[in-house]
Every structure is written in C-alpha cells, then in structure tokens.
C-alpha cells in the first residue's frame, strides 16, 4: 500500500448565482428543511457524487407519523418544494424505532422503515428517483409479513446498483437476523422470504449492512445469550457474496461476549481500502465506562488487539460516546469522545489518535479539547479529511434542553485547524435532537438535526467548509505546484478530461476506479499531460503519484 504524504483538495463549485441559495452563513438562523406546526423528527441525510443530497424524516400529521423526504442541491436549494414529498402515510406505532437511508450508484434514494400496515410491525422499502418518483410503487416493497417484531431495518447499495436490507426479527423467545436483496427494478433476489440467520441458543440482534465491493456486502450483527434482562453480547462480521453466501471461513470477532446492558453506542466508519473502524463503550465495573476501538481490514482480519483497545487508560473517569474519523493521508484514526467524572456530573470533550495497530498516539488519556465542567458534549458525528478530522456535536448546559451546534477540526498533530478553534454552527438556544452529518462532499459537510426552537420539532440544516466558514461554497480548486505538493490535477470534479501538471522527471501516475481496477498508468516528465475520461461513468476515483525519489501521494477524484 502506498501512503499519501501530502494532499490538498478543495473541490471546485461552479456557481451560476446565489440569489436563490439556501445555505445561510448566520448560525442563529440556519437553513430550514421542514417547518410545520406539528413534530418533525429523526432526520437522515445521504449525498450523491453530483452534489445533491436526500434528507428524510418523520412528520406527525393527522395524529400519526408519516415519512417525508426532500432533495437539495449542493447550495441547499430544495428540489421538491416546501417540506418535500410524502413517502408514506401508512400507520405507525405511537413510538418510532430507527430506520435507514442510502443512495444507489444511479443517484436514487433507498429508504427502509417499520410500520403497521399489515397490523404487525414489518419493514418496508422504497426506491425514489431524483424526480421524486416511487420506483417500487407508492406502497413500496414489504420485506416481511409476519407477527414478529421487526425494528430498525438497515440498507446499503452495492456498486452494481442492488439494495441489500437487514433487520432484527424478534419472536416469542429468540431473535434472528433477516436479509433481502432487491434489484433496481424491484425484484427480490434472495427469494420471497430472504435469508434468515438464526441460532437455537442465541438471539441475533441489531444487524447492519455495509457495501464490500462489487455486489458483496458486510453483515455486522450482535449475538446475545442468557436472560433478556442481563444477556451477554458479542459483535461479529461476515462477508456475503452476490448470492448471500458467507465468504469468510468464520465470522470476524470484533469483541467477544460481555455483559450487554452496558454495551452501547456502536459507531462505524470506513478506511480507504474497504475495511471498517468500530467504536463502542461499555462498563467494566459498577458505573465506570470505557470507550473502545477496533479495526477490521477488507479481508476480515482485525488489526488491533482482541476485543479492542481502550481510547483512554484513565480509570478515574468515564469515557463515552466515541466517534471515529479515518485519516486517509497518514492511515490513522482520530476518535472524539465524552469525558466525564465518575458521577457523570461534570463533562468534557476529548480526542485520541491511534494507528491501525491500535497504539494510542496522544498519550494514555488522549487530548483534552474542553476540560470537565457544567456543559454537556454529545451527539458527535465525525469525518476524516485528508490528514485532519472534523467533529460536529452539541454543547448544552448540563441538565437542560438548551443546546447549540458546534464544530472543531484537528490536524494530524492534534492542533486546532481553525484560529477560533471551535465554530458555532447553530446558536439558536433550543433543544436539538438526532444530529446527523455527511462525509465531505463538494467543498463542505452538512449537518441536519431536529430542532425545537419554535414548536415540537422542525428539521434544520447547516453546512460548514474546511476553513470553518458557513454558507455558500465559493472556493475554487487550489492545487498549485509547490515544494510540498509538486503537482496539480485540474479540474476536480472532472468531466471529459483532466490535466496533470508535475515537476520532476519520471513521475508515475496511476488512476483507479472505485473497485481498485487500474485504469491509467503513465510515466510523466516535467510538464503537463491531459487524460481523456469521456468514456468513464460518474463516480469516485482514486489516484497515486509516485516521484522518482520514492515520495508518494494519493487522493480521490470525482467525475
């Protein structure tokens, strides 16, 4: 593997005008996605490489929760009118379990949730076009029709365009995991009943599916044994081929069974070679909580010690809510977490950096961002950006519902990237719930949350750029040749072609598609060389530049 030594990519945004732009640079206002007198809850967001994004949420209408969705462009302009489109008005329970939203390679939204249309709690899936059309019909596709309790279904899209769904199906005694694959046209590819994973002595719970290249997926699930009020729980991973067969000889153990009541808050991010980073926290004694991290490569091998590595070795405090961010340039992981005293009355904000073997690089305790005090820091989301990590989170006065949204960015050395260190994204003093955010795309990150500043809940969003500014992205691509970065690649995003300008003789340039297939391999002398890409499909690509001295660079490009 060639590791990148330096890379600066700030994506070029082509603006026709900003008179109708929706991103607001005032953190007191923010951009309204859904605003009604009734409750709007549980937002999700996914983005496409063309710069558009889908946002979904539940809306309380006529006494029940309906499902709605909005599509926005990269400037935050709504594409489907005020409050988006209605996806489903089928009956919901009085309380909502989690659901999932994904996007397929064609830019269509995939959404899956549980409702009561059959009289029982069953999962149902929809595929929605960029024009707002219900491709699988106005009623979607029912994934199961039984008397089991089927909460919190998940979905991912494979690179070939198929959608894979997973959900927990709880019967009278034990739970099983179920899976189904559906083609873009709506055909169930794994039979009417799908694939069922069960064990007569265990409950299989809380499954997730993640793309694994080609038409394959990773399945992540928990196994529980013992009484339901005090089970032991372990976390496992298996890779499935296009037909749903297991690929790994045995499942990968992320952590072995431990008392499950305190094992909570599983979060994941991807590395740049198809692997997965896992973080979670659990207690080891009484009310003492530790946060853990584990990395699994694309071959299913864990690279850190068995059962994970503690982010902080300090035993006199609690370490909770860990959120990982992978740094592609230096192949390291920055994880943000909440630091609390043993009584959880004082709370602070910390970060730790680890290498892929699990060595703690910022000391045994991690880096203190905000010391323990009367504010509460949580609902973390994080993303890696070249050799930096951004965390978007909520700061609230402990014991109150008054919160604001903030962001912080650290470089690989743990130094603050922004002069003001912490950036306010929303200063409206209100209760804010269910914060989600995107990975980096088109020069920005976008955070979405449920906000009760005016009523029982509306959906608001705010973007933030790598320099910490809010509002419309106007920054052009800056990739000039310099001593530290002896090349430029323009434009990025590209369309029919792109041009490389390098200094130094005998520079090797390699260009790969999302599956890792080598498309271009060229030796470039000092100067400019243009490559025709008109035959390539839209998507994310990767490059490597290797100088004759052996110094290498790598990065992503978007068509």
| Interacting residues of 94 by C-beta distance below 8 A, sequence separation 6+ | none
- Res 542 pLDDT > 60: yes
287-316 pLDDT, tens digit per residue, is 789 999 999 999 999 999 999 999 999 888
Q: Would you call 200 helix, strand, or coil by DSSP?
A: coil
Mean pLDDT of 512-540: 81
Please give the span between the terminal C-alpha atoms of the chain, in angstroms, as a whole number: 24
389-413 pLDDT, tens digit per residue, is 999 999 998 888 899 999 999 999 9
pLDDT at position 481: 37
pLDDT at position 46: 97
In the chain, where are the structural domains located? 487-558
Count CB atoms within 10 A of the CB of residue 358. 18
Rounded-to-integer distance, Cα 4 and Cα 456, Å: 47
The strand pair at 458-464 and 31-34 is best described as antiparallel
pLDDT at position 552: 67
Could you give the dihedral angle defined by the CA atoms of residues 131, 136, 140 and 143, in that order, rounded to the nearest 10 degrees? -140
pLDDT at position 479: 37
Q: Are 178 and 123 in contact (CB under 8 A)?
A: no
183-224 pLDDT, tens digit per residue, is 999 999 999 999 999 999 999 999 999 999 889 999 999 999
Rounded-to-integer distance, Cα 263 and Cα 230, Å: 11
pTM of the model: 0.84
3-40 pLDDT, tens digit per residue, is 333 332 333 333 333 334 489 999 999 999 999 999 99
Rounded-to-integer distance, Cα 99 and Cα 92, Å: 13
In the chain, what percentage of residues exceed pLDDT 90?
Answer: 68
CA distances to 80, 209, 332 from 276, rounded to whole Å, are 35, 12, 13
pLDDT at position 116: 95
The whole-chain average pLDDT of the chain stands at 89
| Interacting residues of 148 by C-beta distance below 8 A, sequence separation 6+ | 120, 121, 169, 170, 171
417-474 pLDDT, tens digit per residue, is 999 999 999 999 999 999 999 998 888 999 999 999 999 999 999 999 999 999 998 7
Residue of 2 and 434 predicted with greater confidence:
434
Rounded-to-integer distance, Cα 421 and Cα 368, Å: 13
| CATH 2.40.50.1070 is right for the domain spanning 487-558 | no
Rounded-to-integer distance, Cα 150 and Cα 266, Å: 19
């Amino acid at each position: 593997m060639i590791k990148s030594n330096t890379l600066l990519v700030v994506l070029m945004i082509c603006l026709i005008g900003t008179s109708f732009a929706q991103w607001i640079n005032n953190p007191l206002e923010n951009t309204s996605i859904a605003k009604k007198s009734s409750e709007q809850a549980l937002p999700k967001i996914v983005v496409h490489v063309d710069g558009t994004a889908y946002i979904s949420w539940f809306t309380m209408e006529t006494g029940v929760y309906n499902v709605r969705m909005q599509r926005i462009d990269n400037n935050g302009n709504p594409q489907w009118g005020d409050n988006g489109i209605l996806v489903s008005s089928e009956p919901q329970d009085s309380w909502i379990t989690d659901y999932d939203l994904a996007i397929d390679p064609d830019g269509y939204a995939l959404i899956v949730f549980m409702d009561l249309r059959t009289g029982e709690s069953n999962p149902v899936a929809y595929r929605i076009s960029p024009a707002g059309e219900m491709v699988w019909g106005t009623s979607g596709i029912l994934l199961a029709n039984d008397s089991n309790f089927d909460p919190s279904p998940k979905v991912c899209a494979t690179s070939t365009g198929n959608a894979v769904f997973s959900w927990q199906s709880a019967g009278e005694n034990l739970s099983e995991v179920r899976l189904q694959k559906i083609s873009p046209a709506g055909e169930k590819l794994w039979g009417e009943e799908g694939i069922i994973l069960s064990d007569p002595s265990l409950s299989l719970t809380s499954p997730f599916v993640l793309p694994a290249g080609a038409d394959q997926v990773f399945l992540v699930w928990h196994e529980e044994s013992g009484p339901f009020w005090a089970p032991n729980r372990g976390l496992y991973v298996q890779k499935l081929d296009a037909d749903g067969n297991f690929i790994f000889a045995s499942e990968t153990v992320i952590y072995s069974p431990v008392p499950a009541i305190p094992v909570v808050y599983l979060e994941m991010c991807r590395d740049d070679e198809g692997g997965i980073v896992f973080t979670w926290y659990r207690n080891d004694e009484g009310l003492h909580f530790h946060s853990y991290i584990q990395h699994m490569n694309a071959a299913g091998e864990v690279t850190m010690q068995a059962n994970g590595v503690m982010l902080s070795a300090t035993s006199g405090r609690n370490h909770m809510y860990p959120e990982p961010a992978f740094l592609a340039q230096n192949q390291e992981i920055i994880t943000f977490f909440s630091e609390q005293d043993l009584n959880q009355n004082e709370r602070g904000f910390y970060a730790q950096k680890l290498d892929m073997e699990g060595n703690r690089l910022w000391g045994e305790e991690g880096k203190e961002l905000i010391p323990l005090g009367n504010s509460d820091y949580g609902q973390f989301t994080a993303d890696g950006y070249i050799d930096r990590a951004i965390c978007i989170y909520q700061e609230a006065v402990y014991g109150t519902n008054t919160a604001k949204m903030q962001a912080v960015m650290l470089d690989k050395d743990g130094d603050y990237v922004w002069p003001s260190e912490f950036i306010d994204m929303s200063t409206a003093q209100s209760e804010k719930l269910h914060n989600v955010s995107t990975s980096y795309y088109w020069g920005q990150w976008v955070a979405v949350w449920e906000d009760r500043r005016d009523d029982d809940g509306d959906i608001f969003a705010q973007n933030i750029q790598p320099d910490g500014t809010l509002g419309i992205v106007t920054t052009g691509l800056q990739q000039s040749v310099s001593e530290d970065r002896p090349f430029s690649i323009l434009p990025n995003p590209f369309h029919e072609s792109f041009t490389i300008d390098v200094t130094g003789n005998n520079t090797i340039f390699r260009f790969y598609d999302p599956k890792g297939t080598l498309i271009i391999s060229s030796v470039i002398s000092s100067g400019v060389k243009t490559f025709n890409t008109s035959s390539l499909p839209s998507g994310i690509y990767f490059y490597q530049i290797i100088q004759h001295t052996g110094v290498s660079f790598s990065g992503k490009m978007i068509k």
